[in-house]
Amino acid sequence: MADLAKVAGVSKITISRALSDSPLVQRETRERLQALAHELGYKLNVSARNLRLRRSHTVAVIVEMKPSHDRTMLDPYPLILLGGISQELTAHGYSVLLTTRQGATAAAVQAADGLILLGQGSRQDAVRRFDKLGLPMVVWGAPGDEHIVVGSDNEQGGRVVAEHFIRLGRRNPVFVGNPNHPEIFERLNGFVAALAKHGVKPLLIRRDEFTLASGGDAMHSLMDRGVPFDAVFACSDLLAMGAIRALNTLGCTVPGDVSVVGYDDMPLAASFLPPLSSVRQDWQEGGTLLARKVLALIGDQPQQSETLPVELIVRET
């Protein structure tokens, strides 16, 4: 930069401002200096700049899930959330360092300016683990402690599904999921509370994996035990789709014999046969809010947790 300033006959600070498109330098001068830098092959030493500013201009995004054949990183969760995060961070000059829980101990993660955690883990174990890094952190999930959390109104999601089943005359509903996860726990709470007002108590089928195979296994377990049920609330769309496939092979019709509702309203839900009823979350807005809040925390601006509304999309199941 000093050599470039000498050639151009200006100060180093003028070169710095011109290369960062500062309005403090006239447009004609900026363009002349930028062209000269390009001609002479000047490149900004990003590492040196970050060291001087004591910032990496990077936000680490950790996806708290173990990708599998049935549940990949290509699914709308976490892909749509990541889209909202990346768009907002990039617009503010930040890079995104994406990793899973298994790769989160890398030095690059610890050198980030902030952290976005997608998922709290069973009994919030992921939150406790990454809190130890001491970075400004925002979490996607269910609020409940001092951490800044962005998430959907999961209790409301459970309530609207319960009310839907009651309107359909269902009296033996089943909830499929793992309530050790805070989001799932809230969905179950809302579901149970709304059904209780009508004297209905649901059966909980605990499943750890949010996959087609897990949903199918839950239905086979119910049928093998001879448990009567006429409605299924699955805590993810993949679980719901797996349940419907299994019910069809077991000779049950959906929604004739059993009503099924999923959660997330992933794009595949509308094209599934039959089209799946599901609770919709606004992941795009959620991703944007996660990014805005972590940037604010990096800038020492206090933030609060935020809950997004949900909507039951009724289709043919």
Q: What does the mean pLDDT of the chain come to?
A: 89
Model confidence band, residue 37 (pLDDT cutoffs 50, 70, 90): confident
Over residues 158-179, mean pLDDT: 97
For residue 138, pLDDT beyond 60 = yes
* pLDDT at residue 204, rounded to an integer: 97
Same domain? For 295 and 196 the reply is no
Are both 139 and 34 inside the same structural domain?
no
Q: Is residue 49 in some structural domain?
A: no
For the chain, how many structural domains are there in total? Answer: 3
- In this prediction, residues 266-282 reach a mean pLDDT of 95
> Do 194 and 260 fall within a single domain?
yes
Check: CB of residue 122 under 8 Å from CB of residue 177. Answer: no
Could you tell me if residue 314 is inside a domain?
no
Confidence category of residue 24, pLDDT binned at 50, 70, 90: confident
Please indicate, yes or no, whether residues 273 and 287 belong to a single structural domain of this protein: no
Question: Quick one: 94 and 186 in the same domain?
Answer: no
Task: Give exposure, 248-271, as e/b (b: 16+ Cβ within 10 Å).
Answer: eeeebebbeebbbbbbbbbeebee
- 72 part of a folded domain: yes
Residue-number span of the structural domain to which 125 is assigned: 58-150+283-306
The 10s digit of each residue's pLDDT in 207-217 is 988 899 999 99
CATH number at residue 110: 3.40.50.2300
What would the two tokens of residue 198 be? 């009508």
Residues 146 and 288 in one domain: yes
Range ranked top by mean pLDDT from 60-69, 109-118, 274-283: 274-283
pTM > 0.85: no
312 in any annotated domain: no
